[in-house]
C-alpha cells in the first residue's frame, strides 16, 4: 500500500481525532487530491529507482491515471518521449503508403550524394509527390509491391511495414506501460512485461526489412537469418514473461538480452558487406546501422547505469533522468534504422530481377 498521507501527517496529527467517521472522510479527501508520493512511501513492488525520490503516482484510480498523461509527475516525459516517437512512425507509415516510390527514390539519392544533389532532390520530392501521373506515383500505387520499372526488381513492401508496425507497437506499448503501471500491482506486472515484449518485437521486426531486401536474391541466407532472429525473439519474449525477471535487480540482464538480440545483426551485416562491398547504397545503409547500434548501446548504457540521477538523487525526478534519455536514444536508433532500410530498398529496386 502507498503511504498517501505521509505529507499531511503533521497537520492531521494535531487534530488528534479518533472517530472512524472522521478518518473515512479524511481518506476520501486524500483520495480526491491524488497526491504524488515519495519513493520511501511506495509499496515494494513499485520501488524501481531509488535515485528518483519524489513525484510518484501510486495506486491511483484508472480515470486519474488516464488524465495524468497531461499532468506533471516523474513519468510524464517517459510517456511523451515514446508517444511522440510513435506519432513520428505513424507519419512515416502514412507517407510510405501514400507515395512509397517518391519517398524511397529521393531519400536514397540524397543520402548518398553531396549537398547540391540534396537540393535537387528536395525539388524532386515535391514534383514527384504532387504530379498526379508521375512515374513514381504510378509505381507506388501498389501497397504490396514497389516496382522500379520493367526489367528491374519487383520487391514487396511488406517487410518495410513489418518494421514500421514493430516500431509503432513497441513505442505505444512503452507509453502505455509508463502511464498505467502505477495503477495496481496487477497492472504493474502486466504492463512492464508488455513493455519488454514490445522491445523484443521491435528488434525482431527491425531485422525483417534489411535482411529481406539485402538478401533478396539469396533465399537460403534470407530464410536462415529471418528464422534465426524470429526464434531468438520468441525465446527472449518467453524468458521476459517470467514475473521474477521484471524485478529491478534484473535490469542489466534485460539490457544484455536486448543488446545480444540487436548485435546478432552484426553477422548478416558482415555477410552483406562481403556480397555487396562495391555497392555504395549498401555501404551507406551499413553506416546508418552503425549509427543505430551506437544510439541503442548509448541508450542501454543510461538505462543500466541510471546516470545522471545517481549523481544527484532527487534533482532529475521530473526531467532529465536516465530512462527519459534512454527513450530518446531508442527513437533515434529506430529512425537511423529507417534510413538504412530505405537506402537498401531503393538499392534493391534499382537492380535487375534475380536470376536463380
- Min dist. Cβ of residue 44 to Zn ion (A): 20
Cell 514500421 sits at which residue? Answer: 164
Residue 140 or residue 175: which is nearer to Zn ion going by CB?
175
- Asked if residue 200 lies in contact with residue 261, where contact means CB atoms within 8 angstroms, the answer is yes
The residue whose Cβ lies closest to Zn ion is 174
What is the distance between the alpha carbons of residues 157 and 99, in angstroms, rounded to a whole number?
A: 12
How many angstroms from the chain centroid is the CA of residue 161?
15
Name the nearest CA neighbour of 128 among 111, 144, 108.
Answer: 108
Residue 178 assigned ligand-binding role:
yes
Contacts of 299 (CB under 8 A, 6+ apart): 325, 326, 327, 328, 329, 330, 333
Alpha helices in 181-218 (DSSP H): 185-214
In the window 216-275, what residues touch Zn ion (CB under 5 A)? none
* SS3 label, residue 154: strand
In the window 166-225, what residues touch Zn ion (CB under 5 A)? 174
- Min dist. Cβ of residue 162 to Zn ion (A): 23
- Min dist. Cβ of residue 175 to Zn ion (A): 9
- Min dist. Cβ of residue 127 to Zn ion (A): 41
Residue 174 or residue 206: which is nearer to Zn ion going by CB?
174
* SS3 label, residue 145: strand
Residue 135 assigned ligand-binding role:
no
Residue 106 or residue 175: which is nearer to Zn ion going by CB?
175
- Min dist. Cβ of residue 323 to Zn ion (A): 6
Q: How many residues bind Zn ion (CB under 5 A)?
A: 1
Residue 82 assigned ligand-binding role:
no
Please report, in range form, the residues annotated as the binding site: 178, 323, 327
Please report, in range form, the residues annotated as the binding site for Zn(2+): 178, 323, 327
Q: Which residues bind Zn ion (CB under 5 A)?
A: 174
Amino acid at each position: 500500500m502507498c503511504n498517501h498521507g505521509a505529507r499531511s501527517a503533521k497537520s492531521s496529527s494535531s487534530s488528534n481525532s479518533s472517530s472512524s467517521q472522521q478518518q473515512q472522510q479524511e481518506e476520501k479527501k486524500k483520495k480526491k487530491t491524488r497526491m504524488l508520493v515519495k519513493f520511501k512511501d511506495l509499496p515494494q513492488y513499485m520501488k524501481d529507482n531509488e535515485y528518483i525520490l519524489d513525484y510518484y503516482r501510486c495506486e491511483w484510480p484508472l480515470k486519474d491515471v488516464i488524465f495524468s498523461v497531461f499532468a506533471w509527475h516523474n513519468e510524464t516525459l517517459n510517456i511523451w518521449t515514446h508517444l511522440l516517437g510513435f506519432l513520428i512512425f505513424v507519419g512515416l507509415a502514412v507517407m510510405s503508403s501514400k507515395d512509397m516510390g517518391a519517398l524511397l527514390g529521393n531519400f536514397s539519392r540524397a543520402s548518398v550524394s553531396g549537398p547540391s544533389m540534396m537540393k535537387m532532390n528536395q525539388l524532386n520530392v515535391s514534383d514527384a509527390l504532387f504530379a498526379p501521373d508521375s512515374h513514381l506515383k504510378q509505381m507506388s500505387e501498389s501497397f504490396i509491391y514497389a516496382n522500379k520499372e520493367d526489367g528491374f526488381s519487383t520487391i514487396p513492401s511488406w517487410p518495410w511495414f513489418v518494421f514500421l508496425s514493430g516500431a509503432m507497437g513497441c513505442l505505444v506499448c512503452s507509453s502505455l506501460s509508463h502511464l498505467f503501471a502505477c495503477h495496481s500491482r496487477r497492472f504493474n506486472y502486466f504492463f512492464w512485461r508488455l513493455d519488454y515484449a514490445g522491445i523484443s518485437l521491435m528488434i525482431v521486426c527491425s531485422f525483417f526489412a534489411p535482411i529481406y531486401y539485402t538478401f533478396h536474391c539469396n533465399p537460403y541466407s534470407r530464410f536462415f537469418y529471418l528464422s534465426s532472429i524470429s526464434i531468438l525473439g520468441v525465446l527472449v519474449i518467453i524468458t521476459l514473461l517470467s514475473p521474477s525477471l521484471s524485478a529491478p535487480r534484473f535490469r542489466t540482464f534485460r539490457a544484455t538480452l536486448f543488446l545480444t538480440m540487436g548485435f546478432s545483426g552484426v553477422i548478416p551485416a558482415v555477410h552483406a558487406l562481403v556480397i555487396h562491398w562495391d555497392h555504395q547504397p549498401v555501404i551507406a545503409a551499413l553506416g546508418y546501422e552503425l549509427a543505430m547500434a551506437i544510439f541503442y548501446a548509448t541508450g542501454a548504457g543510461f538505462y543500466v547505469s541510471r546516470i545522471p540521477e545517481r549523481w544527484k538523487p532527487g534533482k532529475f525526478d521530473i526531467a532529465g533522468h536516465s530512462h527519459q534519455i534512454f527513450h530518446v536514444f531508442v527513437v533515434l536508433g529506430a529512425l537511423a534504422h529507417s534510413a538504412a532500410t530505405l537506402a537498401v530498398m531503393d538499392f534493391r529496386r534499382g537492380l535487375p530481377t534475380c536470376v536463380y
